[in-house]
Amino acid sequence: MLELIASYLFLTATLEEDGISAMFKGEDISSEVDTALTETPKGAAIQESAQGVEDPFPSGLDLDWMGALSDNLRFTIDISGRFEYDTDREDWSTTQYYGYDLFKVLSSKQGDYATIVLQGFATRLDNNPAPPWFFEGPTDWLWVHRMFYINWKLAPRDTMNLKIGHFEMPFGLEMGIDTNGTLRQVGTAPNLGIKADWGLTLNGVSNGLEYEFGISRGSGNEWETAGSPYAFVGRVGTDPSKGSWVGVSGFTAKLFRPGTTIQRRRIGVDAGLDFGAWTLMGEVSGGKNDSNDAMHALLELNWRNPSEQWFWYGQLRTQQERSITTGWDGPLESVIGLRWSTDRHWTLSTEWVQNLERTTTGSREASIRLQMRYRF
């Protein structure tokens, strides 16, 4: 693992020595831009403006040579390495990501009419004890689509947009939080059985409510048709910029798995409250995993400093399923995480996950996760 860390640091150092960093724009940016640099764009409601919008990622590669095509365009290379130690296995696992992130606002003389978000990552797993189902094993390479869509404005003032492509499921807290490429997660994938999918949604803001409703293929990273999978998903909620919010979500799906399909149904509620630099948020949902009852719950308290260079969060979360033979069963975990954005390019993160229930051996397993991320 030390060799992997050394190779990763050598790669980024070499990039800077070769002068790639000289291509970056050097102007100061606001806290909103700092957040955008360390997290991938959600591509939510498109802001109406006759003048277009500013590039929210000014440290991306210099694209002025493209002329008019570079207007409202940001292209970023995103490299990260993740290292995890499991106290139960007493072993390390690693994940590497090498990808790109493109964000483009399409405009005309009448204003902005669409947003394009394209994100693709060559992903390498090494010794992962529980890889996502679409990987072939604990050690594997795979091209992973995160966000890959266009969000097209259908009505003025963001009252209705049409999103087509590969996108996150608009369910619960996931709709308002960017968890792509970060250690911090809200449990969407284990809860629904899928985090992102190919399909379309109608989304927008109307009468003070944000909404997004969609239909998707139900196969996740790749487009698969065996077993006729599908997913219907939607959420409607109040505006979180007011300092508090509440939302209601629904999900029903037949999801593709190699050689079979699985059923998922959920109804959920999420809510949050901002007070100064602190935010308290949570979600709870219940439904069915095939014929078994299932429930998911998460409570999070987080804090960020005024410059948003430091971000801390603590979570209590559980994912439970009840069968006829075993009753309710599933992990109950506490999570403590810290993210440090050292500058506009580097982000260092760590997370401690503690299982609060004892294993069959009487121990309480835990894992520590470290991540280094470099965007240019």
**pLDDT for the residue numbered 72:** 86
Tokens representing residue 202 in the block = 């109608």
Q: Is the pLDDT of residue 213 over 90?
A: yes
61 contacts 77 by C-beta, under 8 angstroms: yes
pLDDT category, 360, cuts 50, 70, 90?
low
35-44, 139-148, 263-272, 364-373: which has the minimum mean pLDDT?
A: 35-44
pLDDT category, 68, cuts 50, 70, 90?
low
Tokens representing residue 145 in the block = 């689509």
User: Looking at the domain that runs over 2-82+90-280, which CATH code has it been given?
Assistant: 2.40.160
SS3 100: strand
The percentage of residues in the chain with a pLDDT greater than 70, rounded to a whole number, is: 80
Provide the CA 262 distance to its chain's centre, in angstroms: 23
28-32, 209-213, 273-277: which has the minimum mean pLDDT?
A: 28-32
353 contacts 369 by C-beta, under 8 angstroms: yes
Count CB-CB contacts under 10 A for residue 137.
Answer: 8
Exposed, middle or buried, 353 (CB in 10 Å: 0-12/13-18/19+)? Answer: buried
**pLDDT for the residue numbered 44:** 39
121 contacts 78 by C-beta, under 8 angstroms: yes
Q: Is the pLDDT of residue 329 over 70?
A: yes
What's the rounded mean pLDDT across residues 66-88?
A: 87
Question: What residues pair up with 48 in beta bridges, in sequence order?
Answer: none
The 3-class secondary structure across 226-241, one letter per residue, is: CCCCEEEEEEEEECHH
Query: Residues 270-320: pLDDT tens digits?
Result: 999 999 999 999 999 999 999 999 999 999 999 999 999 999 999 999 999
pLDDT category, 123, cuts 50, 70, 90?
very high
Rounded Cα distance between 288 and 266, Å, is: 7
Would you list the domain boundaries of the chain?
A: 2-82+90-280
At position 358, the amino acid (one-letter code) is: R
- Rounded to 5°, the CA angle 254-256-257 comes to 130
Q: Is the pLDDT of residue 83 over 60?
A: yes
Q: Which of 292, 300, 363 is nearest to 326 (CA)?
A: 292
What's the rounded mean pLDDT across residues 73-88?
A: 95
Question: What residues pair up with 3 in beta bridges, in sequence order?
Answer: none
What's the rounded mean pLDDT across residues 249-262?
A: 97
Q: Is the pLDDT of residue 163 over 80?
A: yes
Q: Is the pLDDT of residue 143 over 80?
A: yes
